[in-house]
Amino acid sequence: MPIANAFLPADQFDRESRFELAPAFCSACCMLQLVEQPSPEAMFHDHYMFFTRTSRRMVEHFTGYAEWLAEKWFDHPDPFVVEIGSNDGALLETFARRNIHHLGVEPSANTTEVARRHGVQTLTAFFNEPTAARIRAEHGPADAIVAANVMCHIPDLNEVGRAAAHLLAPHGVLVFEDPYLGDMIAKGSYDQLYDEHVYIFSAHSVAAAFGRHDFELVDLLPQETHGGSMRYVLARKGARRAAAAVTSILARERSAGLDRPETFEAFRIRCERQRDELVSLLGRLKSEGKRVVGYAATSKSTTVLNYSGIGPDLIEFITDTTADKQGLYSPGVHIPIVPAERFSAPYPDYAVLFAWNHQAEIFAKEREYVARGGKWVLFVPEISVVG
Ligand code: TMP
């Protein structure tokens, strides 16, 4: 598998790096994780191509996340909040606007520049023990350490656990949300598996991973973002009372088999079936002379396309709103990425919706496509064609 976000020009096809994308489940700590992990520097660098602000819905989501944090978890008048992997500052901007003491920690230099332009204090660095020590020395302990779609990217969770334990105030909270294992298993959304998602967490695995650093779960809040996520709230053991959701969600995970290896074997069989059905559908459309394009060059699409071996012979191009991706080719299978405006010039017969997690937003803005007879190809939770 290539790096999911490594969109590339044609003259670099022969230098593309690949790794073995193999998820494994640990029965002892219930963690689903990638066995091989490309180095973080290969993924999060000066040209990182994901900007949170490209999705209006995600910006709204992060504003809501910040407001919820301030209302529910800040229990003194001058709180200090640190965000791990603050990207372009979409979450912290709410705090910046309210003059709340905040600091983003983000390794990709291009996204930190955007954050600073929006008034968000940002340190260009990886969140680790030296960074945590430096922040504590300069700003004091943090009342909240937050993250969104970042914790699952960090191979060395123990280092994060130690760094958070050092930086957090005694009653502080460590809050993060990431794509949720329960949703991935329920929906068959295997495209959540790519290099950046080293872990697909569950309440069981988070409790085990952070329990080692003297944290415990005090609340769990399911989220609709990224095709189904979970927000985990952790505090130092004994510091805060756990909400009822913790017990009920842990029980629900046991009934869904998220603590047992057989569940993942059944999942593998389902993925193989989904892959075969998608390839045969696209092959049939091609033989019928239909024009098929991809909609949104998501990181997740790299997994689907490479796992299924779908290239430019089956998908003419993929449209995407991110200027940095346009003019490049998709990793591994080399489908051209074109500006979003190409979608309607003229409309294709079929569009594979790779950003299925933004389906509501995209269907709302592409009504005209469907009105003119265009069809969406969906592959989550099952392969289907909708008009
Ligand atoms: P991600 O799923 O890897 O986070 O990336 C989302 C990609 O989808 C990003 O490159 C922008 C693109 N996109 C579109 O092209 N059109 C859209 O309407 C939306 C919501 C996203």
Q: Could you read off the pLDDT of 218-247 as tens digits, one per residue?
A: 999 999 999 999 999 999 999 999 999 999
The number of beta carbons lying within 10 Å of the beta carbon of residue 136 is 18
Ligand 1 atom with minimal separation from the 56 CA: 20
- What is the arithmetic mean of pLDDT over 310-333? 97
Dist. CA 140–CA 44, nearest whole Å: 27
103: pLDDT strictly greater than 80: yes
Residue 48 pLDDT: 66
Cβ 31 vs Cβ 25: under 8 Å? yes
Q: With bands split at pLDDT 50, 70 and 90, how would you rate the model's confidence at 318? A: very high
Q: With bands split at pLDDT 50, 70 and 90, how would you rate the model's confidence at 349? A: very high
Q: With bands split at pLDDT 50, 70 and 90, how would you rate the model's confidence at 37? A: confident
Residue 210 pLDDT: 98
Cβ 219 vs Cβ 243: under 8 Å? yes
Cβ 253 vs Cβ 202: under 8 Å? yes
Residue 141 pLDDT: 98
**Mean model confidence pLDDT for the chain:** 95
Beta carbon of 54 within 6 Å of any ligand 1 atom: yes
Residue 55 pLDDT: 74
**Which residue's alpha carbon is nearest to atom 9 within ligand 1?**
298
72: pLDDT strictly greater than 80: yes
What is the Å distance from ligand 1's center to 51 Cα? 9
Dist. CA 183–CA 223, nearest whole Å: 10
Q: Could you read off the pLDDT of 274-302 as tens digits, one per residue?
A: 999 999 999 999 999 999 999 999 999 99
Cβ 123 vs Cβ 85: under 8 Å? no
Residue 42 pLDDT: 66
Residue 45 pLDDT: 62
44: pLDDT strictly greater than 80: no
What is the Å distance from ligand 1's center to 254 Cα? 33
Cβ 170 vs Cβ 239: under 8 Å? yes
Ligand 1 atom with minimal separation from the 4 CA: 3
Dist. CA 376–CA 351, nearest whole Å: 5
Residue 278 pLDDT: 98
Q: Which ranges constitute the DSSP H helices of 74-220?
A: 93-97, 109-117, 129-139, 157-167, 181-187, 203-211
Residue 52 pLDDT: 73
Dist. CA 3–CA 197, nearest whole Å: 11
Q: With bands split at pLDDT 50, 70 and 90, how would you rate the model's confidence at 66? A: very high
What is the Å distance from ligand 1's center to 320 Cα? 6
Residue 50 pLDDT: 67
49: pLDDT strictly greater than 90: no
**Which residue's alpha carbon is nearest to atom 2 within ligand 1?**
298
- What is the arithmetic mean of pLDDT over 356-375? 95
pTM of full prediction above 0.75: yes
188: pLDDT strictly greater than 80: yes
Mutate to test the pocket of ligand 1, among 51, 55, 149 (most ligand atoms within 8 A of CB): 55
267: pLDDT strictly greater than 80: yes
Beta carbon of 32 within 6 Å of any ligand 1 atom: no
